[in-house]
């Protein structure tokens, strides 16, 4: 049975066509048809979402897995997702749910999410597939979370419209992780999308006071060459700023992409280049045990947070500062300490 929920952010055009304004694809959808993501449908000249409460996964996960490294380190977030996506990445690491339009997923209400999270988690996170597709649901979930003292975050490709991003912020979104897929040429070639939109949204996230982290999944032969990495670093400095963490994560073959996993040497080059150009907090991900999983003081080099994979082993920050040299360290922690 298809469960339809009225969609937000759309306008009616001539002849019962509707134009969706949730993401920058801005699909024009004829009556009886769906948008690019497959989760928004025009019925009788009105736009409905199939995503509302239609969840593909619900599990408690460490915040480091998102990855967020400067946002409540060591905490867990009750993490939920819907189906499908507005990006067609051929290397998708969550393809089993992102490439599926599911019309009969299990319905879970926002109230139930909050009750479950309050029993054991510090926050809620919308992730796995593109969270923007759960927009209408998030507008109800986030205010409930804030009322009960839970943090809220999203793991996104950053392709929502400005209106959608501001709407999420107003609803109570605390933090967003934006995935960068490479240069504008790569976006055009693989995704038929505008590669500057995620950077625009990174700027808006910062301006509106959200916590922001940027991730670049280094996909072999797609965006792992020096030119593409340098471009990402330069955009990060310009749009996110040198205090926003930049994660380079290792790709593994998935879905329709079979190139070998990212070479560690290339990831280390990216790390060193980003640090050399002035980004203060750079990380390598999906490389368990690598020293660049840790947080170092950008001023004196002291180890501040030690990690192994998604586990925090120790935190050595005192009242927001490096205990060795006193440098201010922008990490949001429980109790503000
Ligand atoms: S969310 Fe994006 S992809 Fe889906 S219908 Fe709206 S504009 Fe199209």
Report the nearest-CA residue for atom 6 of ligand 1: 20
Mean pLDDT of 146-158: 98
**pLDDT class for 101, splitting at 50, 70, 90?**
confident
Query: If you measure from the C-alpha of residue 334 to the centroid of ligand 1, how many angstroms do you get, rounded to a whole number?
Result: 36
What distance in Å separates the CA atoms of residue 55 and residue 42, rounded to the nearest whole number?
A: 21
Is the sign of the CA dihedral 62, 64, 68, 70 positive or negative? positive
Beta-ladder partners of 6:
48
CB 105 within 8 A of CB 83: yes
The pLDDT, as a whole number, for residue 170 is 98
Domain residue limits, the chain: 5-49, 54-293
Alpha-carbon distance of 332 to 104, in angstroms, equals: 38
Distance CA 167, CA 55 (A): 21
**Ligand 1 centre from 138 Cα, in Å?**
16
Please give the number of the atom of ligand 1 that sits closest to the Cα of 132. 1
pLDDT at 220 over 60: yes
Q: Select 54-293's CATH number: 1.10.1060.10, 3.20.20.70, 1.10.540.10, 1.10.1240.10.
A: 3.20.20.70
Residues with Cβ within 6 A of ligand 1? Answer: 20, 22-23, 25-27, 35-37, 40, 86
Beta-carbon contacts of residue 113 (< 8 Å; ≥ 6 apart): 58, 78, 80, 124, 141
Taking the CA of residue 26 as reference, the ligand 1 atom at the shortest distance is: 7
Atom of ligand 1 nearest to the CA of 21: 7
Q: Report the pLDDT value the prediction gives residue 336, as an integer from 0 to 100.
A: 66
pLDDT at residue 2, rounded to an integer: 60
Omega of the bond leading into 133 within 30 degrees of 0 (cis):
no
- Helical pair 226-235 and 264-276, crossing angle rounded to 10 deg: 40
Ligand 1 center from residue 86 Cα (angstroms): 6
Both tokens assigned to 59: 């599990």
Residue from 17, 36, 51 whose mutation best tests the ligand 1 pocket (most atoms within 8 A of CB): 36
CA of residue 337 to ligand 1 center, whole Å: 41
Best of 9, 38, 43, 86 for a ligand 1 pocket test (most atoms within 8 Å of beta carbon): 86
Residue 297: which pLDDT band, with cuts at 50, 70 and 90? very high
- CA dist., res. 53 & res. 43, Å (int): 19
Would the pLDDT of 337 be above 60?
no
The whole-angstrom separation of Cα 47 and Cα 34 is 9
At residue 334, the pLDDT reads: 83
In this structure, the number of other CB atoms found within 10 A of the CB of residue 313 comes to: 11
Interval between CA 273 and ligand 1 midpoint (Å):
36
Tell me, what's the pLDDT at 125?
Answer: 98
Q: What is the position in ligand 1's atom list of the atom closest to the CA of 25?
A: 7
| pLDDT of residue 299 exceeding 70 | yes
Q: Nearest C-alpha to atom 2 of ligand 1 is from which residue?
A: 23
- The predicted model scores a pTM of 0.97
Give the chain's mean pLDDT.
96
3-state secondary structure of 217: strand
pLDDT digit string (tens) for 232-265? 999 999 999 999 999 999 999 999 999 999 999 9
Q: By alpha-carbon position, which residue is closest to atom 5 of ligand 1?
A: 35
Determine the 3-state secondary structure of 181 from DSSP: coil
- What's residue 104's pLDDT? 73
185 CA distance to ligand 1 middle (Å):
21
pLDDT value of residue 227: 97
Substitution candidate for ligand 1 out of 6, 19, 20 with most atoms within 8 A of CB: 20
Backbone angles phi, psi at 6, to 5 degrees: -55, 135
Q: Per-residue pLDDT for 102 more than 90?
A: no
pLDDT at position 1 is 56
Measured in angstroms, how far is the CA atom of residue 283 from the centroid of ligand 1?
32
Residue 45 confidence (pLDDT) above 60: yes
Q: What sign for the dihedral angle of Cα 180, 183, 184, 187?
A: negative
């Amino acid at each position: 049975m298809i469960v339809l929920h009225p969609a937000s952010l759309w306008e009616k055009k001539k002849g019962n066509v509707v134009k969706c304004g949730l993401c920058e694809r801005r699909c024009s959808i004829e009556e009886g048809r769906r948008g690019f993501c497959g989760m928004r449908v025009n019925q009788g000249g009105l736009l409905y979402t199939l995503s509302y409460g239609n969840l593909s996964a619900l599990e408690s996960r460490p915040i480091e897995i998102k990855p967020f490294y400067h946002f409540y380190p060591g905490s867990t977030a009750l993490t939920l997702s819907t189906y499908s996506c507005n990006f067609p990445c051929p290397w998708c690491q969550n393809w089993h749910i992102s490439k599926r339009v599911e019309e009969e997923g299990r319905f879970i209400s926002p109230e139930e999410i909050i009750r479950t999270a309050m029993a054991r988690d510090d926050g809620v996170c919308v992730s796995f597939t593109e969270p923007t597709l759960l927009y209408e649901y998030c507008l109800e979930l986030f205010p409930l979370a804030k009322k009960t003292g839970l943090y809220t975050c999203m793991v996104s490709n950053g392709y929502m419209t400005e209106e959608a991003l501001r709407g999420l912020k107003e609803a109570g979104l605390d933090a967003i992780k934006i995935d960068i897929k490479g240069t504008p040429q790569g976006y055009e070639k693989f995704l038929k999308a505008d590669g500057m939109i995620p950077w625009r949204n990174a700027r808006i996230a910062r301006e509106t006071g959200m916590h922001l982290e940027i991730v670049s999944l280094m996909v072999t032969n797609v965006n792992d060459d020096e030119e593409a990495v340098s471009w990402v670093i330069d955009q990060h400095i310009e749009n996110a700023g040198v205090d926003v963490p930049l994660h380079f994560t290792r790709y593994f073959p998935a879905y329709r992409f079979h190139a070998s996993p990212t070479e560690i040497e290339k990831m280390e080059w990216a790390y060193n280049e980003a640090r050399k150009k002035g980004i203060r907090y750079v990380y390598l991900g999906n490389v368990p045990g690598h020293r660049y999983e840790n947080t170092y003081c950008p001023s004196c080099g002291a180890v501040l947070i030690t990690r192994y994979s998604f586990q925090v082993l120790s935190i050595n920050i005192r009242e927001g500062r490096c205990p060795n040299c006193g440098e201010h360290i922008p990490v949001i922690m429980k109790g503000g300490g």
